[in-house]
Amino acid sequence: MEKRAKRKEQFELHVLRCVAALYVMFIHLSFNIGITPQFSFFSDYGLNGVAIFYVISGYLGFLTYSGRSVGDYYKK
């Protein structure tokens, strides 16, 4: 049962990471298209999406490889 709960938690974190990546993508597209004045909220907080993405990615990487040796990491 604990394994199923852990997978659900990881799925939710993957979804949040995807939302953060889409947020960053939207920022880049808005700058290229030139619609930043209408979306100033997104452009003001664009770096937050990057930070959230990297923090979640690091945490998920830690969960994936916790309890394994460095040799196991390179074997994969």
Which residue type does 19 have? V
Residue 1 binned pLDDT confidence (cut-offs 50, 70, 90): very low
Backbone angles phi, psi at 35, to 5 degrees: -110, 25
Instruction: Write the pLDDT tens digit of every residue in 20-61.
Output: 888 888 777 777 776 655 556 666 666 788 888 899 988 888
Domain ranges of the chain: 2-75
Q: Output the six-digit token pair for 59.
A: 């945490």
Q: Which residue has the higher pLDDT, 66 or 4?
A: 66
Query: What pTM, to 2 d.p., does this model score?
Result: 0.65
pLDDT at 35: 64
Which candidate, 15, 17, 12, 13, places its Cα nearest to that of 49? 17
